Structure 1
Amino acid sequence: MTRQQFAVKVAAVRRRSLQGFTLIEVMIVVAVIGILAGLAVPSYNDYIRRGQLPEAFNALSEYRVKMEQYYQDNRNYGGTACASAASANGWNTFPTTIKYFTFTCALDTATGDTAKQSYTITATGGLSKAVGHVYTINERGERKTTKFKNATVDQGCWLTSGAVC
């Protein structure tokens, strides 16, 4: 091979390398990005949802403690509404919405109760990824999940990641 032939081959290789990507190469990259996004977006959404659920758990626990304190002072959980005495006006504004959940309280929820000796506080998801989640707690401290990821369930715990306690 002469020097001139070698120079022609080197120039041809340089021209090919300067032409850019082929359509097949671009399509492969787009497909790989699509597959990665298809896996990452649902995982990220689930991560965000799980981060919003503790708001309900913390507030339900806090409301339960306040209801028990109210009971210690009044020997019932309320008259016409949960914690209805003036002493509880700072916190008993049911229904109330924090950020992702709305909280309601109902009296006389135990079977046969007519003396205001039972209650159920319910947290209902109303914003962002918390929509479709409903959690409850009662005077016995029983935690329940009645709706999880928009599906009706009946679990004796507060579900966060799976449909089983």
Structure 2
Amino acid sequence: MQCNYSREGSTRGFTLIELMITVAIVAIIAAVALPSYNDYLRRSKLTEAYNTLATYRASMEQYYQDNRSYGAGGSCGVALPTGLKYFTVSCGPAAASTSALQAYVASAKGIAGSQVNGFTFTINEKNDRATTAVPSGWGTAPANCWILRKGGGCQ
């Protein structure tokens, strides 16, 4: 009986080197992609503040049309939005208001411990939008718009 050993059958599969190279490539791609993905997730959560402040401003303008002034107190006459996941909203009289109850500033501040901690956005009766605080690594907060991404970009 003669045995024929052929190397044909033994060349199937991957070598350890080939697998290590594949793992290294996947690790490099993940190292590049994950920070970008995390920034994308953070930016998606900022829309809660933008939408809430815009809606709150519309409610404030309706209140002003009905009462010819903005309300006093911490809610400026209109109930503050509740049940937000990432931001808390507050309202108060504008610091440079020329007459009582004729100006306000509403702000949305990122909740501590969330991905949006460190962000603060404001809007007033003139629809002036401002980013008054951003987390470290996001550059300088633009004074005349709501920041959209690191390094600038406004809404």
Fold shared, TM-score > 0.5 on shorter chain: yes
TM-score, normalisation: structure 1? 0.75
Matches within 5 A, 1:116-127: 116-126=101-111
Q: Show the counterpart of 2:63.
A: 70
Alignment root-mean-square deviation, CA:
2.6
Identical aligned pairs, as a percentage? 44
Q: Show the counterpart of 1:154.
A: 142
User: What is the identity, as a one-letter code, of the residue corresponding to 1:115?
Assistant: A
Output the CA distance in 2 between the equivalents of 1:141 and 1:116. Answer: 16
Q: Deviations over 1:33-82 (max 9, x none)?
A: 10111122122212222222222111101111111111122222112333
Output the CA distance in 2 between the equivalents of 1:69 and 1:49. Answer: 32
Unaligned runs of 5+ in 2: none
Output the CA distance in 2 between the equivalents of 1:93 and 1:112. Answer: 21
Q: Show the counterpart of 1:98.
A: 84
Aligned-residue offset at 1:137: 0.3
Check the 8 A contact 1:135/1:143 in 2, yes or no: yes
Aligned-residue offset at 1:105: 0.7
- 1:32 to 2:16 alignment: no
Aligned-residue offset at 1:133: 1.8
- 1:22 to 2:15 alignment: yes
Unaligned runs of 5+ in 1: none
Q: From the two aligned structures, give the one with the greater helix fraction.
A: 1
TM-score, normalisation: structure 2? 0.79
Aligned residues between the structures: 149
Q: Show the counterpart of 2:41.
A: 48
Aligned-residue offset at 1:115: 0.8
User: What is the identity, as a one-letter code, of the residue corresponding to 2:80?
Assistant: T
Check the 8 A contact 2:76/2:91 in 1, yes or no: no
Q: 2:116 aligns with which of 119, 123, 130?
A: 130
Q: 1:139 aligns with which of 95, 106, 125?
A: 125
Does the C-alpha gap of structure 1 residues 141 and 113 become closer, same or farther in structure 2, counting only changes over 3 Å? same
> Between Structure 1 and Structure 2, whose CA radius of gyration is higher?
1
Check the 8 A contact 1:97/1:103 in 2, yes or no: no
Aligned-residue offset at 1:13: 4.3
Q: What is the SS of the residue equivalent to 1:44? A: helix
